[in-house]
């Protein structure tokens, strides 16, 4: 055949030179006009039914006789499991870090055609089918190899036990050789992961997931209230780092601080409790490690630094009062499912309980703005919950708004008093409407939420020194806090002892 003579295709058809080259897909543009040199057509992007936009060549089509791969749904937004209920909208751009109940999936473009460009990344859970496929291929290869080695010999069975599967030896805490200046995250992770658990909760609307930290050998676990709130009877299960699963019950919850304690049913004898650190010694820039169960991926470790301290954070699940916390801000990635998990320092000590993230929308995950409840507060509240199922909170007796005041040639932000209730600690201290509180115990107050966070971190009976600006003049006043009325929270009654309890970290109960 002459080299320039048209060749027949596999079906025996001879292409018409005037029609240009044949295309392999109906959405590829036809060839050049008659007389023009043929050019390879660029594959424009297409939007598939599942919302994926990319060049046609990037989509893997199933071959004859092969099943098509399922396309996983995008993950729901929430930074830990159990914070958002169906149909509820957050009242603040800070969403609880536990994976939400029924949070809507992100919006995907439909019917749009983009200009040719690299294909956008699919949801971070796109890799799930690929993992399953890879595992299946490995299994097939293993079986094939076994067949070559043993032929048709009958398989033998050896008695074994599964109680120690996944068990690892851990470093002692504080971790030797790991310092703030030179953290050894490998050693820290080995030391602390056995103390972190994954929590799964059955609720009336479905299922939620979160994290927790083992407090003692009796099976007490500290977590977030929004992780276990709404759990059905017998609906809490806890998975240890080695994969063992246990049922758990609620020992106590505190919606005011978003903390809870649960107890394992028939706990094992080899639990590894975490070691408590002192959150008052945490400094900005300090390296930290978060461990938890983001998106159901248990024992996930992420690291970062402390970005800020005493950051006022207000969250709400739409059913109860807002949770106001002066939190530890971190840039370590935390996502839905991390809620209730511990935040560790470079020595492996617990310095916080991760609880929420700031997010641009419900469909986005970590953007480097995570928040943890300081361990000193979590320890006190957890101890009270373990004692009688409730917790106490300090009460000042004022209504507040954000404000600013000028005194001594300086203008500062503060919490302005709108009104003072009679017979309250504020009234006894001589505070008046119009006063602006700019500091508490020497800590600057940036607004109403900031002061509320400081006060709620204190126990009834404790005292504090307030710095106040009135009529352009500054002064200090001492105030002794009363107990917040139990009608407003699950706290204790007036007369609570000012002595501060502590959880039995590392003890037998």
Q: How far apart are CA 288 and CA 341, in angstroms?
A: 13
pLDDT, tens only, 210-233:
999 999 999 999 999 999 998 999
Q: Is the pLDDT of residue 481 over 50?
A: yes
Q: Could you report the per-residue pLDDT of 244-294, keeping only the tens digit for each?
A: 999 999 999 999 999 999 999 999 999 999 999 999 999 999 999 999 999
Q: Is the pLDDT of residue 303 over 90?
A: yes
pLDDT, residue 174, reads: 86
Strand partners, 480: 463
Domain locations along the chain:
74-102+170-389, 394-483
Fold adopted by 74-102+170-389: Thrombin, subunit H (2.40.10)
The separation between the first and the last C-alpha atoms of the chain, rounded to the nearest angstrom, is 91
Same CATH topology for 74-102+170-389 and 394-483: the answer is: no
Is-above-0.75 flag for pTM?
no
Round the average pLDDT of the chain to a whole number and report it.
75
Residue tagged active-site, from 339, 446, 490, 492: 339
Q: Which of 54-68, 216-230, 472-486, 489-503 has maximum average pLDDT?
A: 216-230
Least confident of 25-39, 128-142, 491-505: 128-142
Fold of 394-483: Pdz3 Domain (2.30.42)
Residue 280 forms beta bridges with which residues? none
Q: Is 485 a catalytic residue?
A: no
pLDDT digits (tens, 9 = 90+) for 400-437: 999 999 999 999 999 999 999 999 999 999 999 999 99
63-72 pLDDT tens trace: 445 554 444 4
Q: Give 2 or 353, the one with higher predicted confidence.
A: 353
User: Is 226 a known active-site residue?
Assistant: yes
Q: 169-183 as b/e, with b when 16 or more CB fall inside 10 Å?
A: ebbebbbeebeeeeb
Of 254, 258, 317, 435, the catalytic one is 258
CA distances from 451 to 168, 310, 493 (A): 44, 10, 22
**Strand bridging mode 45-47 / 53-55:** antiparallel
Among 78, 226, 310, 366, the active-site one is: 226
Which pLDDT does position 142 carry in this prediction? 33
Give the closest residue to 282 by CA, choosing from 305, 255, 256.
305
């Amino acid at each position: 055949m002459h080299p320039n003579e048209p060749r027949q295709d596999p079906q025996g058809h001879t292409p018409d030179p005037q029609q240009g080259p044949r295309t392999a897909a109906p959405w590829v543009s036809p060839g050049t006009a008659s007389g023009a040199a043929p050019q390879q057509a660029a594959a424009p992007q297409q939007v598939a039914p599942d919302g994926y936009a990319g060049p046609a060549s990037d989509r893997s089509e199933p071959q004859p006789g092969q099943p098509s791969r399922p396309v996983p749904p995008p993950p729901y937004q929430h930074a830990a499991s159990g914070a958002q209920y169906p149909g509820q909208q957050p009242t603040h751009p800070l969403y609880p870090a536990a994976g939400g109940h029924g949070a809507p999936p992100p919006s995907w473009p439909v019917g749009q055609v983009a200009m040719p460009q690299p294909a956008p990344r699919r949801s971070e859970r796109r890799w799930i089918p690929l993992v399953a496929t890879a595992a299946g291929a490995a299994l097939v290869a293993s079986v094939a190899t076994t067949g070559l080695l043993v032929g048709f010999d009958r398989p033998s069975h050896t008695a074994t036990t599964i109680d120690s599967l996944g068990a690892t030896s851990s470093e002692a805490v504080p971790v030797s050789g790991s310092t703030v200046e030179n953290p050894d995250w490998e050693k820290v992770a080995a030391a602390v992961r056995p103390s972190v658990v994954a929590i799964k909760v059955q609720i009336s609307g479905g299922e939620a997931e979160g994290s927790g930290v083992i407090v003692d050998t009796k099976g007490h676990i500290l977590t977030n209230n929004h992780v276990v709130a709404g759990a059905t009877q017998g609906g809490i299960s806890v998975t240890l780092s080695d994969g063992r699963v246990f049922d758990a019950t609620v020992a106590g919850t505190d919606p005011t601080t978003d903390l809870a304690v649960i107890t394992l049913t028939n706990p094992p004898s080899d639990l590894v409790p975490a070691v408590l650190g002192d959150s008052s010694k945490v400094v900005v820039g300090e390296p930290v490690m978060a461990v938890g169960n983001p998106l159901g991926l248990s024992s996930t470790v992420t690291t970062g630094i402390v970005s800020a301290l005493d950051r006022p954070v207000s969250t709400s699940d739409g059913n109860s009062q807002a949770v106001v916390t002066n939190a530890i801000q971190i840039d370590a990635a935390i996502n839905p499912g991390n809620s209730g998990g511990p935040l560790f320092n470079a020595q492996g000590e617990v310095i916080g309980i991760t609880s929420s993230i700031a997010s641009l929308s419900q469909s986005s995950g970590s953007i480097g703005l995570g928040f943890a409840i300081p361990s000193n507060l979590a320890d006190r509240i957890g101890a009270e919950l373990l004692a009688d199922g409730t917790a106490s909170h300090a009460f000042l007796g004022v209504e507040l708004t954000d404000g600013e005041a000028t005194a001594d040639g300086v203008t500062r932000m503060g919490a302005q008093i709108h009104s003072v209730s009679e017979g309250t600690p504020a009234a006894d201290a001589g505070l008046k409407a119009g006063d602006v509180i700019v500091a508490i115990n020497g800590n600057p107050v940036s607004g109403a939420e900031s002061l509320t966070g400081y006060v709620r971190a204190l126990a009834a009976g404790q005292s504090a020194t307030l710095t106040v600006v009135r009529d352009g003049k500054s002064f200090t006043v001492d105030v002794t806090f009363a107990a917040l009325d139990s009608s407003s929270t699950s706290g204790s009654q007036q007369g609570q002892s000012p002595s501060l309890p502590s959880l039995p970290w590392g003890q037998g109960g």
